[in-house]
Chain A
Amino acid sequence: MKYLFPLLACLAVFLAARQFGGALESGIPGASSQKDAGRGTKGLARQAERLAGRTCKSPAALERLHRSGELAEEDLIVAIRQAAAHDPEGVWAWIEAGDYGPHGDGTRSKYLQVVLSKWFGKDPEAALAKMNLHHPNNSYLAGYVIGMLATGTTEEAAAVRDHLDALVDMVGNQERAILFPPRTAEGAAVLMALPEGRSREILLGRFAAAWLETDSGSAAAWVKQLPDIVRNKAMADFTGEALNDRPWISEAGRKFAMEWVMNEASPAEKIRFGPMLAENLAKENPAAAIQWATANLSGDALEDATSKVITRLLSTDPEAAREIAETLSAGDGRTAAVAGVAGTMLKKDPAAAIEWWLDHTGDHNPANRTDARTAAALGSKWFQADPDSFRAYLADPDGRELPFTMVQQALKKMMEDRDGTFDWIASLPPANRVPVIKSAYMVLAQESPEKAAAAFDSRPDLATGDGARMILNYWYGRDPNKAVAWVASLPWGGTREAALSAVRKIAEQQVQKGQEPPQQLKELLH
């Protein structure tokens, strides 16, 4: 008995230490078990011991190995593959539960694909059930599995065929996720052998577009014999790339896409691809491009096509661009084309370019956004290219009237030197001043109506009714009381009358909308 008590105590301490020891070894579960693998040995013996100890037939073994910190990325994939061969569902759950960081969805998806490589062929229903639940990126899992049609075993390919609709639905619109068979006749045959239906059509269409991109010569003949709905979808996908100057698409591929747009595409597809087609046609024959566009397109598409052709021509043959622009009938295509040509001409002779533009742009309509935008862009370009020429044109008593937005755009730059610009405006012939003053006050008022008013007051020689109206247009909306007070402060005369007329109009509009003008304004108007 005297011996028994200390011996029992030793046994109890031993057992307690066994429990305690496991907890102390590592806070990371499983880390301790591998910690000493290979320790004590060196070189080949060490590495052999480590590698031989990596047999992995269960999620638990996978967890232990992973937590050991000894698996590099490629080792982990090998271990996942090994374990998935024994317990795919368990490994799937292990991967799903893993922490891959905030941007780790791709990593998780990669590991799940490894599981699928061992699972889908054997139990597609179970694998699909898990794939269906996986989120996000299950389109990539489905795309990977579809790839087994060409790369998998007979069993795997059959499983894919049997569940094609579910897989294609899972891919959704992420068609790039699909691992297609090689883009060859043999690859095409794999897909052609699929059961007929919507999924087959989707896969064929996308495969055809991809094959056309890499080898249009071989793909074209095959594509021609596809059903209409598949061929048109494939050609639409391909054409979007082919006519967009993608360097990997051959010249023959580009031509094939162009022919499709011209001869087979639906009206909606013609509108969609027409501008790109015209641009491509223009590479060889700009006149033919314009002819095709005017015969097949209208509205925005025609405008887009025309300006694309002219833009292309401007760098290679500006004279031809000018001639074509001059022959266009009135409309948006002409507006854009003429502006493009004038923009190029500006670089050599700005005054002549503007004269030509005014001759050919048609009736400039300031209420038309396109006209206004085009004039503004040209004004900006002109002033940047040659500010002296711009100033000289406005100072010329024989110069033609320029669109307001054109002047305004240039004035934005000029008003950076406010006093200098005001002096310059004062030097202009009176008839030429009107639009310039209006623009100048507009630029100032946009920034600060109060400062614009102060500038207006400081230059009685440039205090026109138009200028006052412009300031009020901006000021009244922001601070009606100050705007009205400013009008009240204006000296008696034509300018004050113009300003009063402007605020009266605004007040009328307010009343029409059911709003009440400020009391101060009512008093001023009575």
Chain B
Amino acid sequence: MVKPAYLWLLLPLAAWSGYKTAPPRAAGSVPAAAAEAPDPQVLAMAAELAKAQPADLEKQLRELLAQAESPGWMNRLKLICARWAETDPAGALAWCEANKTPTVVRLRILTEWALLDSDAAWAAVTNDEERVSITRMLLNEDRETFMVWFRQVRKPLPDLDPAWALLAERHGKELEEIATALLGESQDPPGSFSSLALYFRLAAQARADRDPAAAIAWAMGLDERVARVTVEAAFRQWGKKDPVAAWKEIAKVNAAAAPEAGDEAPKEKPPIRISGSVGSEILERLAKDDPAAAIELLREPGAFTRGEGLNGISAMETAFRDLLAEGKVKPLEAYEMIAFSDPTLGLNIFPDIWRGLPAEKLAEAAKALVAQPAGDPLSMAISGVAGAWMAKDPVAAAAFIAAFPDENLRRSMYSGSFDASGSDPARQAEVLAAIPAQDRAAVFAIYLSRFGELRPGEQSPGYAGPELKPELLAPVFRDLPASEYLDQSVKITAMNWGQQDPTAALAWVDSLSDPAARKAAYGAAYGAAFEGWTFKNPNAAAAWLADKKDGPERDAAALPVVRSLVRTDAEVAWEWAESIGDTGIRQEARLAAMKVWALRDREAAQAAYKRISGKLPAADAAKLSACFGGS
């Protein structure tokens, strides 16, 4: 009988047995996979090949290559190559050469051969490119054999395959040594980015898993050609585990990297500033679990420049959209979190976050939001909700919007549906036409005003809005009630059209029923059409206009002609100004002409002024006289 005390000797054995039989860990939030039965098709293929000889393998490979690729195709190829490599690898390669097989066959045979006899396979490969390809394939086959080859070829560069991370766990130190040696040999000039940074990135991830602060300190000290990428990789990895801590450290690093006033002396090694994309990624991750905390971080000064902040907003937008769609955040909660105005980031309402909600939730969101205090945040939020709702249930959405009494909010909602039409001009016109007449022009004008001023000329530097197709928009503005917004909408349309097809634009202008809109459009269309024309051939443009009958339309059109003519011939411009019937427009035109004429030919300009000054009201005469410097 064994003495009880001897049983204590079994403890190490129990520990070792427990360790070796430990169950695998499942990844992240994905539930552990139940063991799957082996693929019977693969087993059957393997059994069939187990005793195959080169002649059989030749036949099988020939048949396989004649078939189109299918899910089982690659498995069969791998098995045939594995069998051939263990029976006659040199013969297999010779057969491939003789039969001009696709490269993948030769590479598979060599890879299988390398797994069986690395040295012999290495000797059979004649060029570096092929060695690199095989090395890369070995990474997914057997990391020890991979390292044997990698030590010699020192390629390829790491990618995002998890095999690299596993490799770095076991051979991290050696990878760093190889990468450092490669960097020493590299011809990349100082200050440039070296692709070798990808090795250091890998090392940084492994180090950051153990001790993020130490990993960042190590990365900061690296050669500047690889430091930035490496530091950012360490932050990214840290952000996966502790986003708040990583974020706060980024803010510190960036604050330290900010240049101080008067600090213009070049530094030996420029400080590293963490790019906004790293912070955005961290924010997005945090927002998925704790959106309020993410918003709080976004608003914390220091980590982001304004431009980077906008990236951050974009990242949050994705997170909020998903949270809303998954029901993890209610629309009103989301609105309350995001409806803030920040001095650095501006107004931050994400118009796109609502689009994942189903129609009934959008209806609820719209009803809940309209009860909130009015203001720009609400207008933008309700515009986003309406846009998404119109896309999913246009009938219900349109009915809700049309019945809404607050004019401003109603127009914001329509504006959202217009915004959701995207950049397709035909769709824009279609959506616009569906907006009731009382709001249509206002929606269009307010919407476009967000993109800056549209001015005549091929490029409007201040305008960053969608492309417009005036010929599609024009019918939409016909017979609308007169309003300031209608004038603006018609003007924008006319200006666009006038640049492309002045005759068609002017014919449309003539057909407008509202006189004010027609007047606004005349000025815009002529201005646009003449912008280029009169500059180069003002007389031809003027001659064209001379045929128009006197009247308000001609007067409106003549003003831009005067403005164009004045650049080349102030005297002729003055004559044109004199031909304008409307006293207000005439005075404006006279001033435009006189300002230039007085500088170019003071005497002639003064003579012209004297001829008319007696007939002018005192105020008008004084303004013209001021063009001569008060004389």
Contacts and interface: CB of A to CB of B under 8 A. Distances in A.
A18 B162 contact: no
Given A6-B4, A47-B82, A198 B38 contact: no
B7 A104 contact: no
Given A17-B17, A332-B536, A70 B7 contact: no
Nearest to A4: B4
A370 interface: yes
The 8 closest A-B pairs by CB, nearest first: A17-B18, A21-B22, A69-B163, A48-B46, A43-B86, A33-B24, A29-B27, A6-B7
Given A28-B165, A271-B500, A365-B568, A299 B532 contact: yes
Contact of A47 (B34, B78, B355): B78
A60 B30 contact: yes
A145 B597 CA distance: 65
14 contacts: A6-B4, A7-B7, A26-B169, A30-B26, A48-B79, A53-B38, A58-B33, A60-B30, A63-B30, A68-B162, A69-B165, A72-B137, A198-B426, A271-B501
Given A17-B16, A67-B162, A298-B533, A60 B82 contact: no
A19 B321 CA distance: 38
B27 A22 contact: no
Interface of B: 4-5, 7-8, 10-11, 13-28, 30-34, 36-40, 42-43, 45-46, 49-50, 71, 74-75, 78-79, 82-83, 85-86, 112, 115-116, 137, 139-141, 143, 160-167, 169, 209, 277, 318, 321-322, 325, 355-356, 391, 422-424, 426-427, 430, 458, 471, 500-501, 503-504, 532-533, 535-537, 540, 567-568, 599, 626-627, 629-630
A141 to B, nearest CB: 15
A492 interface: no
A189 interface: no
B412 to A, nearest CB: 22
Contacts of B14: 10-11, 13-14, 17
Interface of A: 2-3, 5-7, 9-11, 13-33, 42-48, 51-61, 63-64, 66-75, 78, 81, 94, 97, 99-102, 104, 129, 132-133, 135, 169, 172-173, 198, 202, 266-268, 271-272, 298-300, 303, 330-332, 365, 367-370, 508-509, 511-512
Given A3-B7, A63-B28, A101-B160, A48 B43 contact: yes
B501 A48 contact: no
B322 A133 contact: yes
Contact of A64 (B7, B17, B27, B140): B27
A209 to B, nearest CB: 16
A30 B19 contact: no
A51 B83 contact: no
B533 A13 contact: no
Contact of B536 (A55, A198, A368): A368
Contacts of B209: 27
Contact of B82 (A24, A43, A52, A70): A43
Contacts of A31: 162, 166
A59 B30 contact: yes
A102 B11 contact: no
Given A25-B24, A173-B423, 5 more contacts: A27-B209, A69-B140, A129-B356, A268-B500, A367-B568
Contact of A22 (B25, B78, B322): B25
Contacts of B24: 22, 25, 30, 32-33, 64
A60 B26 CA distance: 7
Contact of B36 (A55, A66, A97, A511): A55
B618 to A, nearest CB: 20
B592 to A, nearest CB: 15
Contacts of A133: 321-322, 325, 355-356
Nearest to B20: A21
A228 to B, nearest CB: 13
Nearest to B29: A97
Nearest to B529: A299
A280 B14 CA distance: 87
B113 to A, nearest CB: 10
Contacts of A198: 426-427, 430
B165 to A, nearest CB: 6
A72 B36 contact: no
B11 A9 contact: yes
A55 B149 CA distance: 30
Contacts of B28: 29, 63, 97
B532 A44 contact: no
Given A31-B166, A173-B423, A63 B140 contact: no
